[in-house]
Amino acid sequence: MKKYSIIALLTVILLCSCTSDKGNENLEFPKTTWDMGREEIMKAWDLTEEDLTDFEREDVIVIQGHELFGEMTDSINFQFYDFGEDGTYELMQVFVNYPPDADMDHVSEEMQKIYGEPDPDMSFYYPYSALESLSVYETKEPGSMTNWGLGNVGDLIPAKEQEYYRGQWAFYQSGLNEDNWDEFKENSKLVRISLLTDGGWNRVEFNAANQMIYETIKNTLKD
């Protein structure tokens, strides 16, 4: 898949610039890669239709009763999206929900064994937000968010194509405009993982939406 070349490039940069020898440089969900479709995820996780919750949609897989990162989950929600509108649904994000009594410090420790040290300065934006303005996601409780990130959006966009990318990206990102474009592309990671415990909300998010959006816009330039 085309997005795989971006992952390979970013991996080379990481290997050359950082000293960590830890695990999954592409920030991929266990047993998966970001270019997988629904059937590939089913095979990788050894799932049958009987293993899924009652959710008859081609863009979602929901499973329950699995241990992940040392703790039992409530549910794991795989979400797929067809950004290219060609009928090809690829893995865009995974939501892992844990029960209220899960030891999320243990989850964090196990995740760091795989993904390395988190980025304490990282922030992110939710695409398709209901908010009309561009807003960094913030938690109400200090220390309730831990982030890992791969690659900045701004590092891959040529200067001569900035306006085109900004205009196209605005279809996916609420509140994006000429005034906040520089802030957005410098703060936004192509791939992110976020561990959230705000208000007892025990959740881990794997998200490659920005990577997919970038590839989608890049491909329109070739048409």
The rounded average pLDDT for each run of 10 residues, N- to C-terminus, in the chain (223 residues) is 47 40 78 95 94 81 96 97 84 97 97 96 84 84 94 94 96 92 95 93 96 93 74
β-bridge mates for residue 207, sequence order: 93, 192
Task: Phi first, then psi: give them for residue 205, nearest 5 degrees.
Answer: -115, 130
Query: pLDDT at position 204, please?
Result: 98
Identify whether the C-beta of residue 206 lies closer than 8 Å to the C-beta of residue 94. Answer: yes
Identify whether the C-beta of residue 23 lies closer than 8 Å to the C-beta of residue 113. Answer: yes
Secondary structure tally for the chain: helices H, strands E: 6, 8
Q: Is the dihedral of CA 81, 128, 153, 164 positive or negative?
A: positive
Q: In a 10 Å sphere around its CB, with 0-12 CB exposed, 13-18 middle and 19+ buried, how is residue 94 labelled?
A: buried
Identify whether the C-beta of residue 184 lies closer than 8 Å to the C-beta of residue 145. Answer: no
Residue extents of the structural domains in the chain:
3-220
Rounded-to-integer distance, Cα 172 and Cα 127, Å: 6
